[in-house]
Structure 1
Amino acid sequence: MIMKNLFHPAWSLAALLAALAFGPARANDAATARGVIESQIEAFLADDMATAYSFAAPSIKRLYPDQERFSAMVRRGYQPVYRPGNYAFGRGKIAPDGAGIVQEVLISGPDGEDWTALYSLERQPDGSFKINGVQMIKAAAPQT
């Protein structure tokens, strides 16, 4: 199982290759986006819904206009994100115009099931990134 804080040379190499592929400015954007995602997950784990809600993009806030509705939606449909076991960042892709990022997060859900969460983030007018969607994909069962 991939653990969030596990140091492994392959992860270091992957981070270096991602930085080279993105270029310095793009690598900073990718790191910022990963920080937003990790901060939201940590807020969920701390039951700090006000902070978790603060990372939602305006489009999400229009759909869920207060943190109670947002919280109910996350608890109902995104349990692996709300209560992850371990998680690790996978591949990320920055839009050519720099306006958005899609970041893969590999998550072990509270029931032990593995998922891939594809986070979509959009750049805000102030230059920050906010989460405007998460697509959950159940990991395939291991081949035996």
Structure 2
Amino acid sequence: MRSVPTAVAIFLLALPAAPAALAGEPVDSAQAVIERQIDAFLHDDATAAYSFASPTIREKFPDETSFFDMVKRGYGPVYRPGNFAFGRSKVSGGTVLQEVLITGSDGKDWTLIYQVVRQPDGSYKINGVHMQPAAPGSDI
């Protein structure tokens, strides 16, 4: 009988941590999708890269070739990043806004805001990217 109270105590101790773990899940999921899409671009895998696009993006670019060409032409730092890091994020309902700091292959720094939306099946898809040159920071 002693094992039951111990099990209950362990369960109760775990409860306060559960909401915190769930709070990070949308951001973790969005970041994973972004990383996987960038990896697909780096490997010239148009099929994989296109698989992370939301239905809204797929309406605008109905096949992986047109999508891949658009990214190559308009989002060079995403297509061929020198490196990247995640910045701030914001969750609102089923949407994650994720800041990504990217250095393009030409050495220029960019700040991107990804809009990643939760789909009816629970997955997350990239619904848009706003890209702007990064403002220079102060000298160290």
- Answer yes or no: same fold by TM over 0.5: yes
Secondary structure (helix, strand or coil) at the match of 1:85 reads strand
Identity percentage of aligned residues:
52
Residue type at the aligned position of 2:100: V
State the TM-score, normalizing by the size of structure 1. 0.80
**Contact kept in structure 2, 1:26 and 1:94, CA below 8 Å:** no
Where in structure 2 are there 5+ consecutive unaligned residues?
1-16
Deviations 1:47-81 (A, max 9, x none): 00100000000000000000010011000100000
Distance verdict in 2 for CA 1:143–1:28, change over 3 Å: closer
Greater fraction of residues in strand: 2
Match of 1:128 in 2: 123
State the TM-score, normalizing by the size of structure 2. 0.83
Secondary structure (helix, strand or coil) at the match of 2:81 reads coil
* Structure 2: distance between partners of 1:26 and 1:143: 33
> Structure 1 residue 91 and structure 2 residue 88: aligned?
yes
> Structure 1 residue 60 and structure 2 residue 60: aligned?
no
Match of 1:80 in 2: 77
Where in structure 1 are there 5+ consecutive unaligned residues?
1-19
Spell out structure 1 runs of 4+ moving beyond 6 A.
none
Q: What displacement does 1:140 show?
A: 1.7
Q: What displacement does 1:142 show?
A: 4.7
* Structure 2: distance between partners of 1:104 and 1:90: 5
Match of 1:138 in 2: 133
